[in-house]
Each structure stands twice: as structure tokens, then as C-alpha cells.
Amino acid sequence: MSFTATQALNDSMLVGGVNAALDDHATNHAYAVLYDAAAVALVTMLFTKPAVTLVSHELVFDQDSASGDLILVQGNAASFNLYSGAGVLLGSGDVTDMAGAGPLKISGTTGTLLYAGARAILGEMKFV
């Protein structure tokens, strides 16, 4: 006998697994730290609780603050690390502007230049 999961079951497993990994029940929020090419941290983006929603079979992350997160260091964002609410590193990826193909996209910029003292707004972050 074999078993074929439906899309509904796959979606549930995806959301449940990611929410468990993000530790959305922890006191702190899941977050992403954006880095420049020299691995200098530019900004930390906090996500909502729960951090993800399922949209058209994709996990979509939501930023906690609609006004964005304060950029501490100016630079071109090149990569990010994703951390759980408990501070556990879960993975990493590329940062692009909205026209790029990276999993984390910065809103309102052409390129990924972030200015110290401004606020970084998540354009899109999603995984399949």
C-alpha cells in the first residue's frame, strides 16, 4: 500500500514544521539579520507571531512593525540569517530588491543599499 498526501496535508505540515522551528511560542520573535558582502550586520528584522502565513502553498513571512526596523549600519544588503524566537540559526539566503530573485526582498529600493538611521521594510520573504 502507498500513501499520497493531499496539498492540504502538505500545506499543514509545512506551516506546522516551520512554526515549530521558528519557535513562535518563545517570548522573543523570530528574526532575520541582514549583512553586507563583508558580513557586517546592517539591520535586524523582527517577524510577527506567528511569523509565517500560508499563501498559495508558499510560506510568507510578515514583518512585526509596519514602519520597518531601524538600520544601524549603512551598506548594501547581500545576505541574511534566519533565527528562531529562541535565537537558533535556522538558515540563510540572499537579499535582493523587489526585482531580484532572492528569498528576502527589500521594499522601496533599487538595489539593496540601506541607509543608517532609516528603516528597513520587508518587501517579501517567502519559501516554497
- 52-109 confidence digits (pLDDT tens): 888 888 889 999 999 999 999 999 999 999 999 889 998 999 999 999 999 999 998 7
Distance CA 46, CA 8 (A): 28
What global pTM score does this model have? 0.89
Q: Which of 106, 2, 104, 6 is nearest to 60 (CA)?
A: 104
- Beta-strand pair 79-83/31-35: antiparallel
Domain boundaries defined on the chain: 7-127
**8 Å CB contact between 96 and 126:** no
The answer, yes or no, to whether residue 124 has pLDDT greater than 90, is yes
Which pLDDT score is estimated for 12?
82
Q: How far apart are alpha carbons 17 and 122 in whole angstroms?
A: 23
Predicted local confidence at residue 58, as pLDDT: 86
pLDDT band at 24 (very low <50, low <70, confident <90, very high): low
